[in-house]
Amino acid sequence: MTKANEALTISRRRFVQMAAGLSFAIGLGGVSAVRAATSAGSSLDVNHWLTIRPDGTISIVFPSTEMGQSSYSTLPQILAEELDANWDDVVIEQLNADDRRFGNPLFGNVLYTAGSTGVQAYFDPMRRAGAQARDVLLQIAARELGVSKEELRTEPSAVVAPDGTRLGYGELAARGADGASVPEVDAVTLKDRSQFRIIGHDVPRRDVVAKSTGKAVFAIDVEVPNMAYATVLRAPVEGERPLTINDTEARAVPGVLDVVALPDGVSVVAESLWSALGARSMLEVTWSEDAPARAFNSEETLRLYAEAAEDPEAEQAVWAEKGNAPAAIAAANQTYSQLYLSDYAYHAQIEPMAAVASVDPDGQGAEVWAGTQTQSWTTRTVMEVLGIEQDKVRLNMMTMGGSFGRRTAFAQDYVRDAVLSSKAVGRPVKVIWTREDDVKNGTFRPAAAQRLEAGLTADGKLDGWHHKVATPTVIGFFNPVRWDAVKPNDVISMRGAESKFYGIKDFRADHIITPRQARLAPYRGIGAAYTSFAAEAFMDELAEQAGRDPLDFRMDLVADNPRGRHLLEKVAEMSNWSNQDGRALGLSFAGYSSSMAAGVAEIEVDQSTGDIAVKHFWAAVDAGLIVSPDNAHNQIEGGIIFGISMALREKIDIENGEVVQNNYWDYEIARANQIPPIEIYMAEVDAPPVGVGEVGTPMVSAAIANAFHRATGRRLRHMPFTPDRVLDTISA
């Protein structure tokens, strides 16, 4: 075990060993009597989620992976709440295996950290797991004290009797669970919200001290004995392979251990990263140069997609439908239509891809250290590459330096490269991608062309809405097995186009599945990152067509959504919408999954340079119950900043199959001096939690585009709103 792991996690294997000696465990949702003769001094394992040790330490399994969203703290807090644990007694154990007992129910129990689902998915099971354990502790205390369970209550990490006798959880665990039974998960008593001491309170994140002292260990930091370093020269174009490799000079570089041909690249393994990088630059490789991707050019791609969006004959997969939108629009008093475009975008997480693999000498097993959004697909990648069984994969899930969808793929090439390199040299190998490697071999938010058409009544109300999205399937590329199960419904490509927070009587959204002409992946906000741009920019144009205020026009559509109406009212109040006083404000109402957000941007446009400055942003958000308010605020604010960044600058170009951009100098993400004051209101509602990681992002680009109209009288319909596009729009 590395220092890395000791610092941040205790492996599942060690967890099991520590729990040895006790004796009872139940299956998910199952019940059993607590079997097991327990002996003094052993730990208590009521279910697979937690262990209570005689010293009072409570280990709670963290089933997701951490990339900045703070699930590492938040999910165990949910269990600790119902256990009535003292949070300071809790140690968090990273799940380091594809153990489907802990699977994400919103992803068919695959271990998958994505889609802002963590709290939403695990809220109920982890509460119930905590409540089960609390019930067993009460039973043990009742037995020990010779009273009935009903007479007892709990305080943080202790059972308290009517006479004031206190028995700590550790002490109770040590006394053993003889005679106790584990209640059914459906039968446990859960706390009322008014009783929460942890949920809804600002409990500091567990990882903040390590992340403020340089001690947090990311995959790129992992160091294991006898480890070598590798860097990979990758094929310039997707689908190509090395034909000839002249590595004479590279091998002559001091410290170089081996040059390993990979299916789509050449790995240089050396004693140091410096040697590996130097040797890589000396490789002479000829590539197959025959891939269909050689024909990919992003300008042409977007033109094709726009044609598809405009083509009434294009094949359409209905994504969402209510009433009869085409008929309503055809019969409407007035109709209006517009086309919106958006380019490829790159995740730009600051930690580039890195993984360490240590393949066993017989090639029949491996230990891997990686930061990914899925234990399941990382395990599967190692199994496939080595042709081994799951139990031969020893995984260490590391905290990630951002991800935003970057590390979600079914087949993980950086993990594969580490495994193949380690196998070749017979030593542990750390593979690191440079920033340029990550940009050039990125997996992107797809380019999209969207045609919206709507009708208006004579009195200026919306009368039919038809949203067509011409973009490829993202799932079909990054997880083809999943695509076989869900096609033609691609939530990654289409989310947001359902406009579900509005009550639109005659509604339709279609996916025109266009040919894929780049590597693709989920990206913060997934489809809503562009569908909500188009929908909310179009909504503003409709309001203008109807001669109505954009807020007033939207209010018609939230009559049946009081929580949404509240957000619009709130953000109007926060931004002083009714008194704009020469300010250029733009409104947008979007969200992510079931989380809603209304936002107002105030901008200034420099008409000589084409620069847009966002001066202020107000947001009103309803994400159901909020488990960690301070962190939720941080996530939503980060989501808004991500939205500002992608709206203003972020764009990947592809020429002849090669990504044009290289690094942060030509793929610019928002810097500190581009960030406005951001005010966030979070609605307090009595509803289940639905996620905060992405809700901040989708509303932003349309809010900026709509403010731009207020400032200039012109419409921005192609995201990002780069200075050249702004100048073209102003002078058009």
Is residue 544 close enough to count as binding another protein by CB under 8 A?
A: no
The 465-504 contact track toward another protein, x by CB under 8 A, reads ----------------------------------------
- Minimum distance, C-beta of residue 563 to another protein, in the bound complex (Å): 25
Q: Which is nearer to another protein, 165 or 434 (CB)?
A: 434
- The footprint of another protein on this chain (CB under 8 A) covers a number of residues equal to 62
639 binds another protein (CB under 8 A): yes
List 19, 182, 432, 632, residue binding another protein (CB under 8 A): 432
Question: Does 208 engage in binding with another protein (CB under 8 A)?
Answer: yes
Q: 293 in helix, strand or coil?
A: helix
Q: Which residues of 274-293 are buried (b: 16+ CB within 10 A; e: fewer)?
A: ebbbbbbebbebebeeebeb
At its nearest, how many Å lie between another protein and the CB of residue 649? 12
Binding flag, residue 218, another protein (CB under 8 A): yes
Q: Is residue 399 within the footprint of another protein (CB under 8 A)?
A: yes
- Quick one: which segment of 111-119, 123-131, 220-228, 461-469 binds another protein (CB under 8 A)? 220-228
Q: Is 1 in the site for another protein (CB under 8 A)?
A: no
Token pair of 438, please? Answer: 């990550």
Stretch that binds another protein, among 161-169, 294-302, 410-418, 430-438 (CB under 8 A): 430-438
Residue 242 touching another protein (CB under 8 A): no
Interface residue with another protein among 27, 29, 480, 677 (CB under 8 A) is 677
Counting contacts by CB under 8 A, is residue 70 touching another protein? Answer: yes
669 counts as binding another protein under rule CB under 8 A: yes
Report the C-alpha gap between 598 and 554 in whole angstroms: 11
Nearer to another protein, 54 or 720 (CB): 720
Which residues have a Cβ under 8 Å from the Cβ of 268 and sit 6 or more positions away?
230, 231, 232, 233, 247, 250, 256, 258, 259, 260, 276, 279, 280, 283
In contact, 125 and 79? CB cutoff 8 Å? no
Q: Which of 96, 635, 706, 729 binds another protein (CB under 8 A)?
A: 635
For 428, what's the count of Cα atoms within 13 Å in the CB-facing half-sphere?
16
Is 560 a binder of another protein (CB under 8 A)?
no
Kindly tell me the sign of the dihedral angle through the C-alpha atoms of 524, 525, 527, 530.
Answer: negative
Angle at 700 between CA 694 and CA 705, to 5 degrees: 155
Say whether residue 615 binds another protein (CB under 8 A).
Answer: no
**Closer residue to another protein in complex, CB, 381/645:** 645
**Least distance (Å) between residue 184 CB and another protein:** 38
Rg of the chain, C-alpha, whole Å: 27
- CB-nearer residue toward another protein: 229 or 577: 229
Site of tokens 């053993």: 176
Q: Torsions phi, psi of 626, nearest 5?
A: -105, 120
Instruction: Check binding of 95 to another protein (CB under 8 A).
Output: no
The residue from 348, 359, 512, 520 that contacts another protein (CB under 8 A) is 348
Q: Select from 102, 129, 128 the least CA-distant residue to 46.
A: 129
Residue 640 makes contact with another protein by CB under 8 A: yes
CB of 180 to another protein, least distance (A): 39
Q: Does 13 bind another protein (CB under 8 A)?
A: no
Is residue 564 a contact residue for another protein (CB under 8 A)?
no
Binding residue for another protein (CB under 8 A) from 91, 160, 491, 675? Answer: 675
| φ/ψ of residue 133, rounded to 5 | -65, -40
- Between 146 and 665, name the residue whose CB sits nearer to another protein: 665
- Using the rule CB under 8 A, which residue among 663, 685, 688, 728 binds another protein? 663
637 forms part of the interface with another protein (CB under 8 A): yes
Single residue of 359, 641, 646, 707 touching another protein by CB under 8 A: 641
- 212 lines the binding site for another protein (CB under 8 A): yes
- Point out which span in 113-121, 233-241, 393-401, 484-492 binds another protein (CB under 8 A): 393-401
Q: Where are the extended beta strands (E) located within 182-270?
A: 228-234, 242-246, 256-262, 265-270
Stretch 256-295: interaction string toward another protein, x if CB under 8 A? ----------------xxx---------------------
Residue 8 CB, nearest approach to another protein (Å) = 11
Containing 572, the helix (H) or strand (E) segment is helix 562-575
The smaller minimum CB distance to another protein, of residues 230 and 513, is found at 230
Contacting residue, 155, 184, 223, 655, with another protein by CB under 8 A: 223
Least distance in angstroms from the C-beta of 351 to another protein: 5
Residue 42 near another protein by CB under 8 A? no
Element at 631 (helix H, strand E): helix 629-648
Rule CB under 8 A: is residue 631 a binding residue for another protein? yes
From the CB of 666, what's the least distance to another protein, in Å?
A: 10
State the virtual CA torsion across 410, 413, 417, 418 in degrees, nearest 10.
Answer: -60
The pair of three-digit structure tokens given for residue 23, joined into one six-digit string: 């004796």
Is the CB of residue 470 less than 8 Å from the CB of residue 345? no
113-to-98, 266, 373, 526, 634 alpha-carbon distances in Å: 13, 31, 5, 14, 19
Q: How far is CA 708 from CA 429, 498, 730, in A?
A: 51, 25, 10
Q: Map residues 435-464 to x or -, x wherever contact with another protein holds by CB under 8 A.
A: x-----------------------------
Should residue 226 be labelled a site residue for another protein when binding is judged by CB under 8 A? no
Near another protein by CB under 8 A: residue from 103, 401, 464, 698: 401
Residue 84 token pair: 């009535």
The DSSP code for 20 is B
Nearer to another protein, 633 or 715 (CB): 633
CA-nearest of 483, 599, 484, 476 to 533 is 599
Name which of 217 and 558 has its Cβ closer to another protein.
217
Neighbours of 146 (CB within 10 A): 7
DSSP 542: H
As measured in angstroms, the least distance from the Cβ of 223 to another protein is 7
The whole-angstrom separation of Cα 559 and Cα 573 is: 18
Residue 207 as a binder of another protein (CB under 8 A): the answer is yes
Are 645 and 679 in contact, with CB atoms under 8 Å apart? no
> d(Cα 208, Cα 303) in Å, to the nearest integer?
46
Which of 169, 642, 681, 721 contacts another protein by CB under 8 A? 642
Exposed, middle or buried, 74 (CB in 10 Å: 0-12/13-18/19+)? buried
Burial class of 458 by CB neighbour count within 10 A (0 to 12, 13 to 18, 19+) = exposed
Of 387-395, 449-457, 461-469, 635-643, which segment contacts another protein by CB under 8 A?
635-643
Phi/psi of residue 85, nearest 5 degrees = -90, 150
Pick from 187, 209, 243, 331 the residue near another protein by CB under 8 A. 209
- Counting contacts by CB under 8 A, is residue 205 touching another protein? yes
Q: Is 200 in the site for another protein (CB under 8 A)?
A: no
State how beta strands 153-155 and 584-592 pair.
unpaired
The reply to whether 414 sits near another protein by the rule CB under 8 A is no
The answer for residues whose C-beta is within 8 angstroms of residue 273's C-beta and 6 or more apart is 229, 231, 430, 432
529 is a site residue for another protein (CB under 8 A): no
Q: Which residues of this protein are in contact with another protein, per CB under 8 A?
A: 66-70, 204-205, 207-218, 220-221, 223, 229, 272-274, 348-352, 399-404, 432, 434-435, 630-631, 634-635, 637-642, 645, 663-665, 669-673, 675, 677-678
